[in-house]
Amino acid sequence: MSEARAADRHPVDQMLPAGRLAVLGLQHVLVMYAGCVAVPLIVGGALGLGTSTVAVLVNADLFVAGVITCVQSLGVGRILGVRLPIVAGATFTALNPMILIGSRYGMPAVYGSMLAAGVFGLLIAKPFAKIIHLFPPLVTGTVITVIGLSLIDAGAGLIAGNDESAPGYGALSHLALAGAIVLLIVLINRFGRGFLVSLAVLIGLAAGTVAASFMGLVDFGAVADAAWFGLARPFFFGAPQFPVAAIVSMCVVMLVIYVESTADMIAVAQLTGRELTENDIARGLAADGVSGLLAGTFNSFLDTAFAQNVGLVQVTRVRSRYVVTAAGVILVLLGLIPKLGEVIAAIPGPVIGGAALVMFATVTAVGIRSLRRVEFDGNHNLLIVAVAIGAGMVPVVAPAFYGKLPDEIQIVFGSSITTTVVIVFALNLLFNHLRWGRPDAPVADQASTPDGTPEPATHPR
């Protein structure tokens, strides 16, 4: 193809030289890497999985993230992929439900519910693209706030331990190590510049692991025995199981993922100047649904668009979707290196927890920022937020609160995220969209972007 014809292409569709593609793609991987691998590390620690098992989850996580990233950027016919520079990765939204399902039913139920959520996601991708206006900042901001708050407990457990009666619980050395990592991340953000700031969490993890090795907390013994190349076998934990409560909970998570991904797709479309149609959004959401099918099969996690990479598109002003394709290929290759998974799985809990506290608190802060765009005067929005957060935080502050209810109800309402989603969505409909008994009452709709969709998400997943 001539240079003149290539120049006529939209910047999103322009192919860059191979060397530049590789470098820019690697940059995208570095920005999202810490957030992506944090999910299997936290799930493994919370469920007491062995280091080798966590390594399997890490490799599967990177592999599936790479596949979905390629699907989003390249597209598959007219059915999958938004064809924008979208980087996919494991979402924090599914953490709490996964831990609940895993602790009650086991890992086969976790991945069975993901398979079901993937099918559910594919079925509703197109209809959801039509009703995105029902998820304004009032809903998304409340949910994002509770996601961050509910996960802080998991981060603290990684640092201090989960058994308060254990002799080493809350060891001063562990607390000091986590605190030093938080401080390092803060200092990098304060005094660093440009790309260095976007790597603050990754640098914190690397520095923390080095420090932990001198404290005798790191054991890389399993790395030598791991293969250089390989893919985790499908259904590593056995045949998937499908408890109804687990499926319902994970399907609610898929709805939240769709809200996040839609916001990020809109943000990237605005940054790149590419017109985004309803069909484009539906194809992008369908790719997230496919992540559920792949995750359930290859022992991975539900994926969503990574907002930190949206920010990188803005900083670099590189709009080519093929750069993200290169990032996806790199992720796939990393996912095929079991030795790498063992190295990451060997990172001790206090190191992961210190970095996770920052990421989770950032999620909460972004939720609060989103709520700032909501109109609270002359309506019931404050009540909606209060009830949703209050009910949503009950399982976090009182884990045994629903202990005497049937297991099915515990799985759904024992998750702060699913509880919050159900309540805030229902109350928003009740007060702001239905006019029962209020024929003259104005509908106090929440703040939104000019096209009526939720604001772009900017929190790490």
DSSP 133-183: GGS-HHHHHHHHHHHHHHHHHHHHHHHH-S-TTSTTTT-HHHHHHHHHHHH
Q: What is the pLDDT of residue 162?
A: 66
How confident is the model over 392-426, as pLDDT tens digits? 888 888 877 877 777 777 777 777 877 888 899 88
**pLDDT > 70? residue 3:** no
Q: What is the pLDDT of residue 291?
A: 93
CB 268 within 8 A of CB 135: no
Q: What is the pLDDT of residue 453?
A: 45
Q: Record the tokens describing residue 404, joined without a space.
A: 């005497």
List strand residue ranges (DSSP E) for 192-259, in order.
none
**pLDDT > 60? residue 448:** no
Q: What is the pLDDT of residue 163?
A: 66
Q: Record the tokens describing residue 152, joined without a space.
A: 């802080």
Q: What is the pLDDT of residue 223?
A: 64
The percentage of the chain sitting over the pLDDT mark of 70, rounded to a whole number, equals 85
Most confident of 121-130, 193-202, 412-421: 121-130
**pLDDT > 80? residue 460:** no
**pLDDT > 80? residue 440:** no
How confident is the model over 279-306, as pLDDT tens digits? 889 999 999 999 999 999 999 999 988 7
What are φ and ψ of residue 146, in 5° steps?
A: -70, -35
Q: Closest by alpha carbon to 225, among 375, 339, 312, 112?
A: 339
Q: What is the pLDDT of residue 295?
A: 93
Exposure string over 409-447, b if 16+ CB within 10 A, otherwise e: ebbbbbbbbbbbbbbbbebbeebbeeeeeeeeeeebbbb
Which of residues 75 and 148 earns the better pLDDT score? 75
CB 257 within 8 A of CB 93: yes
Q: What is the pLDDT of residue 452?
A: 39
Q: What is the pLDDT of residue 353?
A: 80
Burial class (CB in 10 A: 0-12, 13-18, 19+), 210: exposed
Q: What is the pLDDT of residue 222?
A: 62
List strand residue ranges (DSSP E) for 262-419, in order.
303-305
**pLDDT > 70? residue 363:** yes
pLDDT, average across residues 436-455: 47
Q: What is the pLDDT of residue 438?
A: 59
Which of residues 40 and 273 earns the better pLDDT score? 40
- Name residue, tokens 């062995």: 50
Q: What is the pLDDT of residue 119?
A: 96
How confident is the model over 172-195, as pLDDT tens digits? 888 888 888 889 888 988 887 766
pLDDT, average across residues 195-218: 78
Cα–Cα distance for residue pair 230/31, rounded to 1 Å: 25
Cα–Cα distance for residue pair 409/249, rounded to 1 Å: 10
Q: Record the tokens describing residue 9, joined without a space.
A: 């292409």
Q: What is the pLDDT of residue 444?
A: 46
How confident is the model over 82-110, as pLDDT tens digits? 888 888 888 878 887 888 899 889 999 99
Which of residues 312 and 147 earns the better pLDDT score? 147
The percentage of the chain sitting over the pLDDT mark of 90, rounded to a whole number, equals 16
Helix axes 200-214, 349-371, angle to 10 degrees: 160
Cα–Cα distance for residue pair 412/48, rounded to 1 Å: 22
Q: What is the pLDDT of residue 286?
A: 94
- Name residue, tokens 């199981």: 241
Give the chain's radius of gyration (CA, Å).
21
Long-range contacts of range 277-280, CB-CB < 8 Å, 24 or more positions apart? 278/129, 278/130, 279/78, 279/129, 280/82, 280/83, 280/84
Q: Closest by alpha carbon to 206, among 225, 243, 180?
A: 180
Cα–Cα distance for residue pair 33/30, rounded to 1 Å: 5
Long-range contacts of range 428-433, CB-CB < 8 Å, 24 or more positions apart? 428/134, 428/136, 428/138, 428/139, 428/384, 429/134, 431/379, 431/380, 431/381, 431/383, 431/384, 432/138, 432/379, 432/380, 432/381, 433/134
Q: What is the pLDDT of residue 203?
A: 81
Q: What is the pLDDT of residue 443?
A: 47
The pTM score is: 0.74
Which of residues 315 and 81 earns the better pLDDT score? 81
CB 109 within 8 A of CB 248: no
Burial class (CB in 10 A: 0-12, 13-18, 19+), 326: buried
